[in-house]
Structure 1
Amino acid sequence: MSETIPDPATPAADGPGAAPRKLQIALVDDDRNILTTVAIALQAEGFVTRLYTDGETALKALLDNPPDLAVFDIKMPKMDGMELLRRLRAHSRLPVIFLTSKDDESDEEAGLEQGADDYIAKPFSLRLLIARIRAILRRAEPPGSPARAAATPEEPLPASLSRGRLFMDPARHLVTWAGQPVSLTVTEFLILEALALRPGVIKSRNQLMDAAYPDDVFVDDRTVDSHIKRMRRKFKQVDPSFEAIETLYGAGYSFNDG
C-alpha cells in the first residue's frame, strides 16, 4: 500500500520563474505511526513524502518514479528492507537510509553491505534523521539542484582526481579502476576521495567520518569499517589483486597504488 499525507503547499511546475521543485522522500515502514510522524516532520521541513507499508509496493514505485531519497525499515512483511534494497540496487543508486533495531548490529552491517548510504537505530530522533537526509541529499545532488541550493555555504566540487589506476570525477560521480567502472555510493565515494587526495597518508576513522558526514552527524567507528570493507569488495570484482586501500591497525586507513 502507498499513500501521501496531504501537503498544504503544492510544488510549483517547472519553468521560468517557477519555484524550485520540492524534494521527494519515500518512507517504507509497516508501522503507520512511524510513517505518519516522520512524514509530518519532513513536510514541515519542505519535503514531499511518499509512504509505503510494504516492500513489494515500494520497489515498483521506486523504480517507476524514483524519489530523491528513501528511508527503509528492515523488518517488514512480504519483502523486508534488506531484500528491497538488494533488488533496488540491481537497477538504481537511489540514496537510501536504513532504520535498524537498536540492539542488532548485524542489521547495520548487512544494510551497509547491501549498499545503504547510512543507517539510524530505532528509537531515533527526528532531528537526527532530517540532518542525515539533508547531508546525503547535498552530497548526492549536482550543483544547481534544489538539494545543493539548500546547503550553506555552497561548496564547489573538486576537479577530477587521478591516482595510479584510480580515476574519480565528482561532477559525474564517476569512479574507474584501470579503466573499468566501479559503482560506489555517495558515502563510499567521499571516503575514497578523502584517502586518494593524499596517497600514503594515514586517515583516522574520525577524519574519514568528517569527510563523509560533514554536518556534525554522529556516526560510530564500525560504520566506516563497513564502508571500507564493501568498497574493497567492489574493487576486487574489477581487479582481484586490488590492495590500494590499506588498513593500519589502531590508526586508520591509507590509499597507495604503487
Structure 2
Amino acid sequence: MAELLKGAPVAKALTQKVAERSSALVEKGVTPKLAILRVGEREDDLSYERGATKRAEKAGVAIEKIVLPADCTQDQLMDAIKHINSDSSIHGCLMFRPLPKTLDEAAACAALDPAKDVDGITEGSLYGVFANRPVGFPPCTAEAVVALLEHYGYELRGADVTVVGRSLVIGKPVSMMLQAKNATVTMCHTKTRDLAAHCKAADIVVAAAGHAKTVGADALREGQVVIDVGINWDAEAGKLVGDVDFDAAEPIVSAITPVPGGVGSVTTAILCKHVVDAAERTLA
C-alpha cells in the first residue's frame, strides 16, 4: 500500500511557522492583513473563503472582506482594487475568479499591484515565477505542491518529474518552481502523445490536467510519488476525485496524495505565508 501524503500535517506545520512570523511583525507595529475580494455568492468561493478565514485566524493574519454584488459594474470592481492597492495596512489580496462574464477579468488582474498579489494572478507575479525572482507571488496551489513534497522529505534536486497540465494556475508555474529546486521537469498535457510513457519514466508525477482519471495504472510504476492536484466531481460515485485513478494507483506507487485532503488543504496555509512575506517586504 502507498503512503498517503496528507495535507493536514503540512498545513499545520506551515501555519505554526507563519504564526510565529506574524507575532514578530505585530511586535514591530505591523499586523499582516489579507483583503478578500469577492464578487457575488458562488458557493465554491464561499467555501474557500471560510477555510481561508479560519486558517488566517490561526496564522495571525487579519482579514478584510470586500464583497461586491454579482451585478456590480467594472468601475466598482476597479475602485475596490484601487482601494486595496492604496491601503498600506493591506499586504495581500485574494480575488476570487472566475469573475462574472459581465466583467473584464484580465483588466482587473492587471490593475492589482503585484506586491499585493498573493495568489499569482498578475503578469508581474508570473514573471517572478518564471524568472525565479521575488516579484509578486506564485499561485498558492503551485507552491503547495512543492511545500508538500519538501515536508515529506522528497529530494527534488536531480529528480525526474512529469507535470501533467499546462495552465498558468498550476502546470506552468509548478514546473518552473520545481526546476528552481533543480528537478528535471517534463511538461505534458491531455494531448501529449503516449502520456503514459512520460509519466511512467518519472520519479514524481504531478497531475494537474483538470480531468478525472487522466492518469491511470498504465502510466505508473512501483517506487513513484504521485501528487494529485485535480478536484473533479464524479457524479456516478457521488464524490470528489482527482486527476489520478486513485484506486488503480494506490496499490502500485510508493506514495500518493488523497483527494480531498491532499494538496488542497495546504493552499490556505501558503496563502497566509504569502501575506506575511508581503508584510515583511514592506519593512525591508
Q: For this structure pair, what is the TM-score category when the shorter chain's length is used for normalisation?
A: 0.3 to 0.5
- Relative contact order: is structure 1 or structure 2 higher (C-alpha 8 Å, sep ≥ 6)? 2
| More helix by percentage | 2
TM-score by length of 1: 0.35
